Structure 1
Amino acid sequence: MESLSSDQHKRVVLTLQQVEKAIVQLQEWNKDVTSADDYLTSPEGAKNLAANCMMIEAIGESFKKIDNYTQGQLLPLYPSIPWKAVKGIRDHIAHGYFEIDADIIFETITENLTPLLTATRFFLEQLKH
């Protein structure tokens, strides 16, 4: 990203590092979760669901910021990720309030985090140069 100022470059790298940590943390929190029902059948599960939602919101917002910082130039370098959906799930959670679908959160965590982590690490590697 040659068009980024030094300050923007640092912000993007820092944000990507935070996203990487958040994804790893989500994976750790959910390593024993086997279905969306695990979020709904106990107070501990409900807390996990709420914490997951908070982290997913933060990740979505972070990618919105990254897209703004890079003027839309970085995310298209990894086209296999549906970036609009990544950024949009944040809005869905933030404005859904009590209408959070545990199945969507479970699916996001079990199916989408690993590819998103791979993309995040790809971007970090690209920004080293």
Structure 2
Amino acid sequence: MKTVSVYLKHILEACEKVEMMVQDLDKEDFMDKDWITREAILRQLEIIGEAVKRIPNEFKLKYSEVSWKDISGMRDYLVHEYFAVNYEMAWETAISDIPKLKKKIVEIALKENIKISLIP
């Protein structure tokens, strides 16, 4: 059984990958042209949501300032409604929510004495 630290590391790694992918990407390319990067970003959002689902509820209650339910809901939406994904919402999540989530996960890891390494 994996520990919370493993899931937090998975979330952090996926956040970093999303940040790297959107760094030189504009909204128009995300929406219309660069479907490969768009699909890669969606996959990382799925990974984040799946990792969140596996974190024990007690831990989520301890850090209730994180929108755990919304994050896992995004995963469910991406997986089960794959044929009708709202790319506008995915873009906003990638550029606005992911940096905030990354910051929060780093703070939690520090509080929990979980060793993390950021992608250089």
TM class by smaller structure: 0.7 to 0.9
Whether the aligned pair in 1 keeps the contact of 2:10 and 2:47 (CA below 8 Å) is no
Normalising to structure 1: TM-score of the pair?
0.79
Task: Render the CA deviation track for 1:34-59: whole Å, top value 9, x for unaligned.
Answer: 22x322322xx111111111110110
The reply to whether residue 34 of structure 1 matches residue 26 of structure 2 is yes
Larger Cα-atom Rg: 1
4+ residue runs over 4 A deviation: none
Task: Render the CA deviation track for 1:74-113: whole Å, top value 9, x for unaligned.
Answer: 2233333322111100000001122111101101011101
Aligned-residue RMSD, C-alpha:
1.8
Gaps of 5+ in 2: 115-120
The reply to whether residue 20 of structure 1 matches residue 20 of structure 2 is no
What is the rounded CA distance, in whole Å, between the counterparts of 2:23 and 2:64 in structure 1?
27
The one-letter amino acid of 2:52's match is F
What is the rounded CA distance, in whole Å, between the counterparts of 1:47 and 1:38 in structure 2?
10
- Could you tell me how far 1:123 is from its partner in structure 2? 2.1
Whether the aligned pair in 2 keeps the contact of 1:23 and 1:117 (CA below 8 Å) is yes
What is the rounded CA distance, in whole Å, between the counterparts of 1:76 and 1:32 in structure 2?
36
Whether the aligned pair in 2 keeps the contact of 1:20 and 1:117 (CA below 8 Å) is yes
Write the mapping of 1:95-106 to structure 2, written as runs, cut at 5 A: 95-106=80-91
Gaps of 5+ in 1: 1-6
Whether the aligned pair in 1 keeps the contact of 2:31 and 2:88 (CA below 8 Å) is no
Normalising to structure 2: TM-score of the pair?
0.84
Question: What is the total number of aligned residue pairs between the two structures?
Answer: 114
- Aligned with 2:102 (options 117, 122, 125): 117
What is the rounded CA distance, in whole Å, between the counterparts of 1:77 and 1:118 in structure 2?
17
